[in-house]
Amino acid sequence: MSKKARSNAVFHTPFEGKPAPPSRVGLFAFSPDVHLKLYSVGTQREITTLGLAAAWKRLTRFLRKERQDEVKGMRLMAGVLEEFSAKLGGQPQWEEFNRALAGDAAAKAKVEERSRFEWLFRGFDTGPEDWREHHFYLIALERAGITALHMGLAGDLPSTADYIATHPLLKHLLWPEAYEAFRRASQLDDLRALIFAMSVDAHLGYLAAWDVQLAAGGDSVFSCMMPSSTRPGRNPTSLFYDELQRRLGKDSIGRVLSSFEGSRTGLDQSTLNRWSAGTHSPDLATLHVLLDAYGLKRSDELLYPQFWCAKNLNMLGHYAQRLVDAAHLAADSPEVVKIWPWPDYPFGHKSFEAWVADRYPYWLAYHREHGEEVKALALPQVNAA
């Protein structure tokens, strides 16, 4: 089977520099480091200008590590947040760090209970009262995935499979063949490709959680970013441009730029041509200029989360396509078993388009029904506080 049959869309590299598989916390959550890199594209210059480049690197390094000395980790995180709050004027919620470092046993226990994502969100001056469905989802996914990871590292893969299969959230990542693969495996390392496939599906669930929060009971706002068989060859960047042009009320790139609003942007047609073709993702600063000219540069403007959704989907598509290609290259060798379930996508789908067509509506329905359950899984101590 040709590679083209697997997916018509081409997904560009999501990050600058040499591509590497995204790191995870627990078994199934892409780490806060991945999120920071994904969402900092276009802001790295500002971070450097503010003198925060070194602190940013320390923060992402801390959030990427699964195991480390708790006290050292607390001191590192507190120092990084001190720099950020001094430069940016925020008030990170880190009082527990200081109490724990001073020897408060209750505070230390609370610090150790926090997940990496919870500390990330608190570090940016937010608490549970500010968080939304997608924040709680990431925390819940990390917590459950860490338990599964520890079970797997202990060597009892059948029990790990059963834990995943019965967990209220993780069970939605598992299909019958994946369950059997867990039970048959002799070590967790044998399941790297499968675990990555489940992580990809879990991240699609994260986008659905965000979508449900934004839609507030209405229609999905991210579905138009999803590649599909009805729009062959269109990747998320290209689809984002379609939505952008629709919202600007124009039917061509030329009319976007020749209008009174467009003429004030100073943009040239080649830039929008690249966005429309999906070969280059918009940079945030240029997008700001265009939306500002058209009166759409508002904090609640849906084009901004749709822009980030397209970036997330490109990341998923890019890394999935690399595994599809690796599976094709290994098709006639014993190594192919190590890449299972690839070249198929999660749940046995034959292309990215088929996978999102099935699984994205599934995750939307899940979050519409189970929002309170996800919150309880994320922060059981909140209800007791």
Question: What pLDDT digit, counting tens, does each position of 262-282 carry?
Answer: 999 999 999 999 999 999 999
Q: Cβ neighbours of residue 126 under 8 Å, at least 6 residues apart?
A: 93
Supply the pLDDT for residue 83: 65
Which pairs count as long-range contacts for 40-47, CB under 8 Å and 24+ apart, including other chains? 41/15, 41/16, 41/281, 41/283, 41/284, 41/311, 42/283, 42/284, 42/285, 43/284
Task: Give the model's confidence band at 60: pLDDT under 50 very low, under 70 low, under 90 confident, else very high.
Answer: low
CA distances to 68, 155, 351 from 151, rounded to whole Å, are: 19, 7, 32
Cα(219)–Cα(272) distance, integer angstroms: 28
Neighbours of 296 (CB within 10 A): 18
Instruction: Tell how strand 24-25 and strand 29-30 pair up.
Output: antiparallel
Cα(198)–Cα(49) distance, integer angstroms: 38
Identify which has the larger pLDDT, 275 or 126. 275
Cα(78)–Cα(92) distance, integer angstroms: 9
CA angle in degrees (0–180, nearest 5) for 283-287-292: 155
Tokens coding 222: 């991210």
CA distances to 29, 163, 182, 189, 192 from 174, rounded to whole Å, are: 15, 11, 10, 18, 15
Identify which has the larger pLDDT, 103 or 207. 207
Tokens coding 155: 């060597």
User: Cβ distance 63 to 80 under 8 Å?
Assistant: no
pLDDT (average), residues 77-103: 62
User: Cβ distance 110 to 380 under 8 Å?
Assistant: no
Cα(154)–Cα(152) distance, integer angstroms: 5
Supply the pLDDT for residue 290: 96
Cα(382)–Cα(121) distance, integer angstroms: 15
CA distances to 164, 285, 290, 293, 297 from 260, rounded to whole Å, are: 56, 20, 12, 9, 17
Identify which has the larger pLDDT, 218 or 362. 362
Give percent of the chain above pLDDT 70.
Answer: 77
Q: HSE on the CB side for 53, CA within 13 Å?
A: 6
Task: Give the model's confidence band at 121: pLDDT under 50 very low, under 70 low, under 90 confident, else very high.
Answer: confident
35: pLDDT strictly greater than 70 = yes
Tokens coding 200: 């990809």
Our measurement of the distance from residue 32's CA atom to the centroid of its chain's CA atoms, rounded to an integer in Å, reads 9
Closest listed residue to residue 108, CA positions, set 119, 121, 97, 92: 97
215-249 confidence digits (pLDDT tens): 988 999 999 999 999 988 999 999 999 999 999 99
pLDDT (average), residues 307-327: 96
What pTM, to 2 d.p., does this model score?
0.86
